[in-house]
């Protein structure tokens, strides 16, 4: 009886974050998910080996392809996201770069907003173009007409983020999804800052979700990890994706039709990219991920509670010029925030400090609980000066487009007692 929870998708989010995808009955009834610390698995007999290698049988052979610990993590995130399939990778950048490679061939384009995580912008603007895949950036992410202007017959996906970094801007996901689908292309989102607890991409038309699982999903700043989740049902055989047509032909006799129809993106990502490019997540990391995700909803509730209180405090502070947080009624993203983030608009916010860069750096020097770190999404509170770190390599104009000025500080609000965090910021701002 107690072993049934792992496959019941009608259970609530918090129940699923503890049970989904793991059947202890298949693992010596170990209550914790075991770490399968091996490089490879016995193949059994010749016939089974052939079935594993033509993918007609699900199973584990070599760990660069799959591992039972990672398998639980993949099933768990797919369940929490309400998706069909998922794949664990070595880092958020591995998840994102391999997603782009799965979507586009040389000569293709990917349309993206300008307020992406810096690594994703660099991939699309400087690295992939050398391999023939070009990122086309939307001039104004808030204007649907601006997306239409950069889409053409070479476009193979639209790529957005749930909450912009560090301006916390929100795009109208449903309108963009509709536009993508009208062109026969998928909408892909980086949902790192929100997690499936705060924002439900698949319920708003998104087809593929990428995560830097390093952040809130793992939750404690202890691992580097990435995840890709597929909603299922996108028509990859609609004439725009020759690579998927080729893949379908290659595997239609061995992989069952329903699986190919519903999760071809993930199958190809695993077979072509995880296996052949090697961005594998170690099972030890998958174990830490599963541990972290057991408390995801509880942590996120506390993160957004603290962030809202802090945003309200900073908004009233005489030494703060401006607060970027969509949970404030004065934010231009307040209404979109209410629509897409009913539980709260995340726990990252940015402020412009009065007195310019000198004053901002003074705040950095004076904080005692907020740690001066480039990371986000840790249980502990973090603070950084984006212009001299995360956005260092961008020009002043590029930074301004992302809402980064010399006096901007980005805060990743942790789960400490909010009174302590407010007192810390108050003394630093003095």
Find the binder of ligand PLP among 81, 108, 190, 207 (CB under 6 A): 190
Is 192 an interacting residue with respect to ligand PLP (CB under 6 A)?
A: yes
Q: Using CB under 6 A, which of the segments 76-84, 91-99, 128-136, 311-319 binds ligand PLP? A: 91-99
Find the Cα–Cα–Cα–Cα dihedral 328, 330, 335, 337, rounded to 10°: -30
Residue of 336, 32, 395, 301 whose CA lies nearest to 175: 336
Q: Residue 68 or residue 167: which is nearer to ligand PLP going by CB?
A: 167
Site string for ligand PLP, 158-187 (x = CB under 6 A): ---x---x----------------------
* Backbone φ, ψ for residue 45 (5° rounding): -115, 175
Supply 161's token pair.
Answer: 């983020």
Strands of the sheet containing 208-212, edge to edge, are 85-89, 226-230, 208-212, 187-190, 155-161, 109-112, 134-137
Shortest distance (Å) from residue 375 CB to ligand PLP: 7
Q: How many residues contact ligand PLP, by CB under 6 A?
A: 15
Q: Contact, 312 vs 328, CB < 8 A?
A: yes
Q: How far is the CB of 307 from ligand PLP (least distance, A)?
A: 16
Interacting span for ligand PLP (CB under 6 A) from 19-27, 89-97, 323-331, 416-424: 89-97
CA distance linking residue 47 with residue 38, whole number of Å? 23
Subset of residues 122 to 161 that bind ligand PLP, contact rule: CB under 6 A? 161
Residue 351, Cβ density class (10 Å: 0-12 exposed, 13-18 middle, ≥19 buried): buried
**If DSSP codes are grouped into helix, strand and coil, which group holds residue 134?**
strand
Among 18, 119, 354, 398, binds ligand PLP (CB under 6 A): 119
Stretch that binds ligand PLP, among 53-61, 86-94, 247-255, 276-284 (CB under 6 A): 86-94
Is there a contact between 421 and 381 (Cβ–Cβ < 8 Å)? Answer: yes
**Which of 63, 78, 93, 198 touches ligand PLP (CB under 6 A)?**
93
Site string for ligand PLP, 197-236 (x = CB under 6 A): ---------------x-x---------x-x----------
Buried b (16+ CB within 10 A) or exposed e, 105-123: eeebbbbbbbbbbbbbbbb
Please report, as ranges, the residues that interact with ligand PLP according to CB under 6 A. 91-93, 117, 119, 161, 165, 190, 192-193, 212, 214, 224, 226, 376
């Amino acid at each position: 009886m107690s072993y049934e929870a792992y496959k019941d998708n009608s259970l609530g989010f918090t129940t699923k974050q503890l049970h989904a995808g793991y059947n202890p009955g298949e693992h010596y009834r170990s209550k914790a998910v075991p770490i399968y610390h091996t490089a490879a698995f016995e193949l059994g007999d010749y016939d089974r080996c052939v079935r594993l290698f033509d993918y007609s049988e699900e199973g584990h052979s070599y760990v660069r392809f799959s591992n039972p610990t990672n398998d639980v993590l993949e099933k768990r995130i797919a369940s929490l996201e309400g998706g069909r399939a998922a794949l664990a990778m070595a880092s958020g950048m591995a998840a994102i770069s391999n997603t782009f490679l799965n979507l586009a061939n040389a000569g293709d384009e990917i349309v993206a907003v300008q307020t992406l995580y810096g690594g994703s912008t660099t991939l699309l603007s400087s690295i992939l173009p050398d391999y023939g895949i070009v990122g086309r950036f939307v001039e104004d992410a808030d204007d649907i007409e601006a997306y239409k202007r950069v889409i053409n017959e070479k476009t193979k996906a639209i790529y957005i983020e749930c909450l912009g970094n560090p301006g916390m801007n929100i795009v109208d996901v449903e309108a963009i999804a509709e536009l993508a689908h009208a062109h026969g292309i998928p909408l892909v989102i980086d949902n790192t800052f929100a997690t499936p607890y705060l924002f439900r991409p698949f319920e708003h038309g998104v087809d593929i979700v990428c995560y830097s699982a390093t952040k809130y999903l793992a939750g404690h700043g202890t691992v580097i990890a990435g995840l890709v989740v597929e909603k299922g049902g996108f028509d990859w055989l609609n004439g725009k994706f020759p690579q998927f047509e080729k893949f379908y032909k290659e595997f239609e006799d061995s992989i069952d039709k329903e699986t190919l129809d519903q999760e071809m993106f993930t199958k190809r990502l695993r077979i072509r990219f995880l296996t052949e490019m090697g961005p594998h997540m170690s099972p030890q990391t998958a174990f830490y991920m599963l541990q972290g995700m057991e408390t995801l909803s509880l942590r996120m509730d506390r993160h957004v509670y603290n962030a809202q209180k802090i945003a309200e405090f900073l908004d009233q502070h005489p030494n703060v010029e401006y607060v970027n947080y969509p949970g404030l009624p004065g934010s231009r993203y307040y209404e979109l925030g209410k629509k897409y983030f009913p539980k709260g608009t995340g726990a990252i916010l940015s402020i412009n400090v009065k007195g310019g860069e000198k004053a901002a750096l003074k705040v950095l020097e004076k904080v005692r609980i907020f740690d001066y770190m480039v990371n986000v999404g840790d249980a502990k509170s973090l603070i950084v000066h984006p212009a001299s770190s995360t956005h260092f390599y961008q020009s002043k104009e590029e930074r301004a487009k992302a809402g980064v000025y010399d006096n901007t500080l980005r805060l990743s609000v942790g789960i400490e007692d909010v009174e302590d965090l407010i007192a810390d910021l108050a003394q630093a701002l003095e």
